[in-house]
């Protein structure tokens, strides 16, 4: 009887030890939890990397006629990029058709950006929406043709920003500037004058504008008035007119050439 009890006690002890070893071997370890947590943290951090600042934009080759920017000027970056995907797709294309069918039919996806370079950081107020901006500007084609400049006229222009009264590239191109700042805008034709020619500007022309935000106001700035004359500025008429010198050209202006435009386009003309 005693031997039988000893055998049962030994069997119970062995069973208990075996169960403990099995439980220890099959129990989950703490290390995988830490690894899982680390992996989750890494996964969470990954999307943040996709919001990093974009790289430098690829610009067209510019003519040396366009003023070179100062050394140390940062590269061009997009203010925004627009991608257009067609709502319909070609289901079948005959081998007789050329490779440009999608573009011909307007079914090819397009992508374009409004790029900018801040050439001078202003120290005034931050440009605010729905204000009147007073701007100096000079516009160039990629080939270096200067088609318009307020500096040449000696008078800036004023626009209601964001009110669709200028080309889209101007209506959205001053965000982030401060009064007194200068910027070079690279405006694709989709955000400029489109697929139609505009006087000196050929169809589908990318435009380069050097702009300066002179001031901003809630109301439209009033045009400058000429100072009142302090005295008579009309010269006295001689008793008899002097004889005309035939060697000097006539002061009468020549007739206007109807084949040439009288004015140059600026961004309000869209």
pLDDT tens sequence across 218-242: 999 987 765 555 554 434 443 444 4
The answer to the question of residue 207 being in a domain is: yes
Catalytic residue (one of 116, 161, 189, 193): 193
**Angle CA 47–82–61, to nearest 5:** 105
d(C-alpha 267, C-alpha 91), whole Å:
41
Q: What is the pLDDT of residue 169?
A: 97
d(C-alpha 80, C-alpha 107), whole Å:
22
Q: Report the predicted TM-score, pTM, of the whole model to 2 decimal places.
A: 0.64
pLDDT band at 268 (very low <50, low <70, confident <90, very high): low
Report whether pLDDT(36) > 70. Answer: no
Kindly report which listed range (3-7, 40-44, 85-89) carries the lowest average pLDDT score.
40-44
Q: What is the pLDDT of residue 243?
A: 42
- Whether 66 is catalytic: no
CATH number at residue 156: 3.10.50.40
Segment (H or E) for 33: helix 30-49
d(C-alpha 97, C-alpha 101), whole Å:
7
pLDDT in tens, 115-174: 999 999 999 999 999 999 999 999 999 999 999 999 999 999 999 999 999 999 999 999
User: What's the first-to-final CA gap in the chain, in angstroms?
Assistant: 112
Query: The domain containing residue 193 runs over which residues?
Result: 112-217
Kindly report which listed range (78-92, 143-157, 162-176, 177-191) carries the lowest average pLDDT score.
78-92
pLDDT band at 210 (very low <50, low <70, confident <90, very high): very high
- Whether 157 is catalytic: no
Are the C-beta atoms of residues 141 and 147 closer than 8 Å to each other? yes
Report whether pLDDT(54) > 80. Answer: no
Average pLDDT, the chain: 76
The answer to the question of residue 101 being in a domain is: no
- Whether 193 is catalytic: yes
- Whether 167 is catalytic: yes
- Whether 186 is catalytic: no
Of residues 258 and 88, the one with the higher pLDDT is: 88
Number of structural domains (the chain) is: 1
């Amino acid at each position: 009887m005693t031997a039988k009890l000893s055998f049962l006690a030994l069997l119970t002890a062995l069973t208990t030890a075996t169960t403990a070893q099995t439980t220890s071997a099959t129990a989950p370890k703490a290390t995988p939890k830490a690894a899982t947590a680390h992996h989750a943290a890494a996964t969470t951090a990954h999307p943040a990397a996709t919001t990093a600042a974009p790289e430098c934009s690829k610009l067209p080759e510019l003519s040396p006629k366009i003023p070179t920017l100062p050394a140390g000027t940062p590269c061009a970056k997009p203010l925004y990029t627009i991608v257009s995907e067609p709502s319909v797709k070609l289901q079948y294309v005959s081998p007789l058709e050329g490779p440009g069918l999608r573009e011909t039919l307007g079914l090819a996806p397009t992508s374009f950006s409004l790029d900018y370079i801040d050439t001078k950081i202003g120290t005034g107020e931050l440009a605010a929406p729905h204000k009147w901006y007073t701007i100096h500007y000079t516009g160039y084609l990629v080939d270096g043709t200067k088609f318009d400049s307020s500096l040449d006229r000696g008078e800036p222009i004023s626009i209601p920003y964001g009110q669709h009264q200028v080309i889209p590239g101007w209506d959205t191109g001053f965000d982030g500037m401060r009064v007194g700042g200068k910027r070079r805008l690279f405006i694709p034709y989709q955000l400029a004058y489109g697929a139609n020619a505009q006087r000196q500007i050929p169809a589908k022309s990318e435009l380069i504008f050097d702009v300066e935000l002179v001031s901003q106001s809630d109301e439209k700035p009033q045009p400058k008035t000429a100072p009142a004359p302090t005295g008579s500025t009309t010269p006295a008429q001689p008793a008899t007119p002097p004889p005309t010198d035939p060697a000097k050209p006539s002061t009468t202006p020549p007739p206007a050439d109807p084949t040439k435009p009288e004015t140059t386009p600026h961004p309000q003309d869209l």
